[in-house]
């Protein structure tokens, strides 16, 4: 098959593009390199640096494509509080631009990477796709809006659409930006370097951490799965892990003690969040294979190999 992966030089995007290329597919990647790295991509992948809002560029990249994976996005909840306009331009505007270009070029399926952040604070766990979103950040609003746009435009123009709500993905080659870094690589680095692991709140808040290879397996399945049109599907481990327990796992994986500092004046986000993955199991044959302890060991092993 021929695929276009937007945001294909980022953490998840590059892992997906490389998997598709290794499976023998023709892969094109579009990325503005604001967070991604072209050097992570397999040499067989056709890379283009550009903006997902550039419709003429999209026309050229979408020619004869069978399926689009739309991962191009800004992805930090905290950063979105500061720059909501940028999140709207990229996450919402870029999605609408892509759907218009797909309509114009006749591409018939898009797999969109959404986010578990859409759920926000819920009264019961794990969260199910039918639960009402409780949007508490511009990032969550942008992802929910993009879901609505892909399904609405898909219905209007007979484009097959599926949105995967991905929870806390982690794994090898996850970037560590100077600000608003994801929790797993940040805690790993702080523990390995003897720095302080700063925990917001009391550390009892829970999240659903899923290893990158399991996310990629779900994305690959979504390209050809039947009965997924207009679906929203949770992609997580299905397990609830507290931030304190995550640090315990990191200590065990690294063999080092973490210097924990608790900032109780700054909230740690929603108190609980974990995915009900029964729909993914039913529609995608999804089975998470890597638990958190094993995933952290694999992440550390890859980091040591690639230094």
CA distance 193 to 186: 11
Taking a C-beta distance cutoff of 8 angstroms, is the pair 72, 111 a contact? no
CA distance 125 to 241: 12
CA distance 203 to 244: 5
Which residues 6+ apart lie within 8 Å of 305 measured at CB? none
Kindly report the number of other CB atoms within 10 A of residue 306's CB atom: 8
CA distance 239 to 271: 15
Beta bridge pairs of residue 254: none
Taking a C-beta distance cutoff of 8 angstroms, is the pair 210, 277 a contact? no
CA distance 203 to 242: 7
CA angle centred on 37, ends 90 and 175, rounded to 5°: 85
Q: At what angle do helices 243-254 and 292-305 cross, to 10 degrees?
A: 50
Q: Which of 69, 119, 139, 249 is catalytic?
A: 139
CA distance 159 to 180: 35
Residues 135-146 as b or e (16 or more Cβ within 10 Å = b): bbbbbbbbbbbb
Is 56 strand, coil or helix?
Answer: helix
CA distance 110 to 93: 16
Is-catalytic flag, 139?
yes
Give me the phi and psi of 22, to 5 degrees please: -70, -25
For the annotated catalytic residues, the residue numbers are: 139
């Amino acid at each position: 098959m021929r695929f276009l992966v937007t945001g294909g030089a980022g953490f998840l995007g590059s892992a997906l593009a490389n998997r598709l290329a290794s499976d023998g597919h023709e892969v094109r990647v579009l990325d503005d390199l604001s967070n991604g790295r072209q050097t992570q991509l397999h040499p067989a992948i056709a890379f283009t640096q550009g903006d997902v809002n550039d419709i003429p560029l999209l026309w050229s990249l979408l020619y004869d494509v069978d399926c689009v994976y739309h991962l191009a996005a800004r992805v930090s909840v905290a950063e979105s509080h500061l720059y909501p306009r940028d999140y709207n331009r990229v996450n919402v505007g870029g999605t609408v631009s892509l759907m218009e270009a797909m309509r114009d070029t006749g591409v018939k399926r898009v797999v969109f990477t959404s986010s578990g952040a859409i759920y926000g604070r819920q009264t019961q766990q794990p969260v199910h796709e039918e639960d009402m979103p409780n949007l508490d950040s511009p990032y969550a609003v942008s992802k929910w809006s993009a879901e609505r746009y892909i399904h609405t435009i898909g219905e209007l123009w007979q484009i097959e659409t599926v949105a995967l709500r991905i929870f806390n993905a982690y794994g090898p080659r996850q970037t560590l930006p100077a600000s608003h870094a994801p929790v797993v690589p940040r805690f790993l680095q702080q523990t390995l370097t003897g720095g302080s692991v700063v925990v917001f709140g009391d550390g009892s808040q829970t999240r659903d951490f899923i290893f990158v290879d399991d996310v990629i397996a779900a994305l690959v399945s979504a390209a050809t799965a039947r009965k997924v049109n207009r679906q929203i599907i949770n992609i997580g481990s299905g397990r609830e892990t507290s931030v304190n327990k995550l640090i315990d796992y990191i200590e065990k994986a690294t063999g080092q003690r973490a210097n924990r500092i608790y900032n109780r004046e700054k909230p740690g986000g929603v108190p609980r969040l974990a995915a009900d993955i029964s729909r993914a199991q039913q529609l995608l044959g999804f089975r998470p294979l890597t638990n958190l302890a094993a995933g952290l060991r694999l992440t550390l092993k890859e980091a040591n190999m690639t230094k």
